[in-house]
Amino acid sequence: MMVEKEELGLSLSLNFRAAAEKNPSSLQLNLMPPLVTSSPAFNLPNRTHNWTDSCLSSSDRNTADAFRVETRSFLKGIDVNRIPPATAEEEAGVSSPNSTISSISGKRSERDLPVSEIDGERSSSRGISDDEDGDNSRKKLRLSKDQSAILEESFKDHNTLNPKQKLALAKRLGLRPRQVEVWFQNRRARTKLKQTEVDCEFLKRCCENLTEENRRLQKELQELRALKLSPQFYMQMAPPTTLTMCPSCERVGAPPPEKFIDHQHNRPRLTTANQNLHRALPFNPWSTPANQVVQRQMSALHPRS
DNA sequence: GTTTCCGACTGTTTTACCTCA
DNA sequence: GGTGAGGTAAAACAGTCGGAA
C-alpha cells in the first residue's frame, strides 16, 4: 500500500546513505543529517484554544455534551470544535452546500460517509459552519495542546489508522473521525515533505562533495600530465609517500611499515633491490606532492623488500 | 500587511472485493 | 471450479485553499 511506498522511498534514501557510509573515502560525508522521526517542526506550539472538553473528565464531558446539544442552536457556527450531532435526526438535518458538491463529485460523498463511521461523520465541520454562516467561509479548527499531543503520540505508534482506531481516537479526543482522518493525512504529508527536504539537503551535500572531489582529481590529473612532460622536474621532487588506492590492482593500502620510511627525506626507504628497480624507471607519475599520502599507501601495498 | 502553520477540502490513484461471462 | 474483465467502495495521496496566529 501507500505506506509501503513511503517506506520504499525511505529505504532508498537510507540505502543511499548506507552506500555513502560504506565508502566514506569516496564521498567524505560527515554531514549526515539525522533522520526525521519526530521533528520539532511538527510539535504544535502552545495555542489558545476553544475546545471546552480538553480538561474535562468523562462525566464532565457528558455534562458538557448535554450542554452542547442543548445550546447547539446558539453555538453552531461559533465553536467549530464541537462534537457533531448525535441523533439521526440531527445528522440528517445537516447538509451543507459543500456536501451537495461532494455528492455531485461522485464517490466523494460515499467516502465521506463510510459505514463504519456513520455515527461520527454525517456532517463535516464545513457543513456545520456553512450551514450556520450562510456564506462559504470556513471556520478554522485549532486543536488544543492536549489533542495535538495525543494525536502525535498515536502517530508515533502508527502513522495510519484503521477505522476502529480512528473511531476510538476520535472518541477520546472529542473530535469527529473525519477530523482525525484529516489530521493523519496532513501529518503524513508533512512528514513526507520534511523527509523529502532532508533527503534533498543530503543529496545536495553529496553533490557538493563529489564536485569538490572531482575538482581536486582534475587538478591532480593536470599536475600529473605536466610532470609527465617534464621528467627532469620529477627528479627533483620528493618521492611519493601515500596512496589511497593502487591504480593497477585497485587495492587500498595502509601506510608502509616504519622501516620502509625514510624520514630524513620524507619518502619510502629504498632497499637495495628496489633501488635498482626505481633507478630503472624513467619517472614516477605518482610522485606529485598532492599524491604523497596516496603514494605512501601504495608503497604499503607493494613493499619492495 | 505579510508570512507561516495547519485544518479541511477536491480530485486522482491504489487496493481489495464482488459479480459475471 | 478456476479465471480474467469490469465495476464499486474505501483508503490514501497530491495539491490546494483559507483561517488564524
Footprint of strand B on the protein (CB under 7 A): A 1-2, 5, 41-42, 44-45, 80, 98, 101-102, 105, 107-108, 111, 124-127, 138, 140-143, 148, 178-179, 182-183, 185-187, 189-190
Q: Is A109 left (phi over 0), alpha (psi -120 to 50) or beta?
A: alpha
Q: What is the pLDDT of residues A250-262, one digit of tens each?
A: 555 444 444 444 4
Q: How many CA atoms lie within 13 A of A159 on its CB side?
A: 16
Query: What's the pLDDT score for residue A217?
Result: 96
pLDDT at A150 over 50: yes
- Residue range A75-96: mean pLDDT, rounded: 35
Return the nearest residue to C14, CA–C1': A189
CA of A148 to C1' of C12 (A): 21
List chain B nucleotides near protein: any atom < 7 Å from a Cβ: 5-16
CB A189 under 7 Å to nucleic chain C: yes
Q: Confirm if A45 and A33 have CB atoms less than 8 A apart.
A: no
CA A183 to mean position of chain CA atoms: 19
Query: What's the pLDDT score for residue A130?
Result: 35
Query: What's the pLDDT score for residue A162?
Result: 86
CB A138 under 7 Å to nucleic chain C: yes
Query: What are the start-end ranges of the H helices in A23-140?
Result: 24-27, 58-70, 72-75, 88-93, 97-104, 107-112, 125-133
pLDDT at A198 over 80: yes
Q: Over the range A90-112, which residues count as b (16 or more CB within 10 Å of their CB) and which as e?
A: ebeebebebbeebeeeeeeeeeb
Would you state the cell numbers that stand for residue A172, as one nine-digit string?
477520546
- Residue range A7-12: mean pLDDT, rounded: 35
Q: What is the pLDDT of residues A13-69, one digit of tens each?
A: 333 333 333 343 333 333 333 333 333 333 333 332 333 333 233 333 333 333 232
pLDDT at A296 over 90: no
List chain C nucleotides near protein: any atom < 7 Å from a Cβ: 9-16, 18-21
Q: Is 0.95 surpassed by the pTM of this model? A: no
- How high is the mean pLDDT of chain A? 53
State the pLDDT confidence band at A196, using cuts at 50, 70 and 90.
confident
pLDDT at A179 over 50: yes
Q: In the complex, which nucleotide's C1' lies nearest to the CA atom of residue A116? A: C10
pLDDT at A127 over 90: no
Domain ranges of chain A: 238-301
Q: What is the pLDDT of residues A225-236, one digit of tens each?
A: 998 887 666 566
CA of A84 to C1' of C5 (A): 42
Would you state the cell numbers that stand for residue A303, as one nine-digit string?
613493499
- Residue range A283-289: mean pLDDT, rounded: 36
Query: What's the pLDDT score for residue A158?
Result: 87
Q: Confirm if A299 and A240 have CB atoms less than 8 A apart.
A: yes
Return the DSSP state at A77.
T
Which percentage of chain A shows pLDDT scores above 90? 10
Q: In the complex, which nucleotide's C1' lies nearest to the CA atom of residue A80? A: B7
pLDDT at A149 over 70: yes
